[in-house]
């Protein structure tokens, strides 16, 4: 993910104007002549009778393909096409905080005009941003889930992770946290594209439940069960309390 932007380069096979003939496709300037069927106009007019009416139609000359001229002796380097394929290294700048699918335009780096007349077209580069290992993106903001064991949620902990800006991301989990709580880390997201500063990081706390706890762990859990579990008589009251708290926090 190019969170700070920067210069990139790419190797491409590009069509360019033939250097030997300057893109006109002819072996020499004298090897080009005016098209006789269209008189150098590049267009021909055909008439046909439709009922009592005479209809005229103007179309490209099929002999010169609308060019108005023909090549008597083609260029040996490009075989009359006026273009050649060459391998080029293109360098371009990627803006900070760029979105996936962004298209960058490189003016004049596209295909050359046919016959060497006119400017070359533009080249568009569409960016594809790889997914991060644990971050999801919402504009300049980042979201991630942090699985923690019950002791870490109950007693609190501090977790450090490698971060995209090169500095460790320090996540302080308060004591008494619960699965589903979110922590906000301001200013450590991606750069905003149209304003100063950076986005935020939202951390969703999740409970990590071992898939295959050891026998010793099971014994310890059984010992804590009476102290930490909710009795059947209190379940209904806890459901009500949780609903009241959830509505207050809306």
Q: Which residues contact 80 (CB under 8 A, 6 or more apart)?
A: 25, 26, 71, 74
pLDDT digit string (tens) for 149-205?
A: 888 998 999 999 999 888 999 999 999 999 999 999 999 999 887 778 889 999 999
The count of other CB atoms within 10 Å of the CB of residue 110 is 16
Is residue 149 within 8 A of residue 179, CB to CB? The reply is no
The count of other CB atoms within 10 Å of the CB of residue 111 is 14
Which one-letter DSSP state was computed for residue 120?
A: -
Is residue 109 within 8 A of residue 60, CB to CB? The reply is no
- State the average pLDDT for the chain: 85
Residue tagged 């902990």 (tokens): 157
Q: Regarding predicted confidence, which is higher, 4 or 176?
A: 176
- pLDDT of res. 54: 79
Q: What is this structure's pTM? A: 0.64
Rounded distance between C-alpha atoms, residue 32 and residue 36, angstroms: 12
- Shortest CA distance to 36 belongs to which of 61, 56, 59? 61
pLDDT band at 3 (very low <50, low <70, confident <90, very high): low
Q: Which residues contact 173 (CB under 8 A, 6 or more apart)?
A: 146, 148, 152, 153, 156, 157, 158, 159, 183, 205
pLDDT digit string (tens) for 12-23?
A: 998 888 888 888
Q: Regarding predicted confidence, which is higher, 142 or 222?
A: 142
- pLDDT of res. 227: 65
């Amino acid at each position: 993910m190019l969170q700070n932007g920067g210069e990139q380069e790419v190797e491409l096979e590009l069509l360019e104007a033939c250097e030997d003939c300057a893109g006109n496709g002819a072996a020499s300037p004298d090897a080009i002549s005016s098209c006789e069927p269209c008189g150098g106009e590049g267009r021909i007019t055909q008439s046909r009778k439709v009922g009592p009416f005479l209809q005229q139609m103007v179309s490209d000359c099929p002999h010169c393909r609308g060019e108005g001229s023909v090549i008597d002796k083609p260029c040996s380097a490009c075989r009359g096409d006026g273009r050649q394929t060459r391998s080029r290294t293109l360098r371009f700048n990627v803006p900070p905080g760029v979105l996936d699918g962004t298209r960058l335009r490189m003016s004049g780096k596209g295909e050359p005009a046919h016959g060497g007349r006119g400017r070359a077209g533009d080249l568009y580069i569409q960016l594809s941003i790889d997914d991060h290992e644990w971050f999801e993106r919402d504009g300049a903001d980042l979201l991630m889930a942090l699985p923690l064991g019950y002791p870490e949620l109950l007693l609190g902990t501090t977790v450090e992770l490698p971060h995209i800006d090169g500095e460790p991301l320090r996540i302080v989990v308060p004591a008494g946290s619960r699965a589903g709580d979110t922590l906000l880390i301001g200013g450590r997201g991606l750069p905003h594209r149209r304003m100063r500063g950076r986005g935020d990081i939202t951390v969703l706390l999740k409970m990590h439940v071992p898939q295959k706890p050891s026998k010793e762990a099971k014994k310890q859990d059984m010992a804590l069960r009476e102290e930490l579990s909710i009795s059947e008589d209190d379940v209904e009251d806890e459901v009500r309390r949780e609903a009241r708290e959830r509505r207050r926090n809306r």
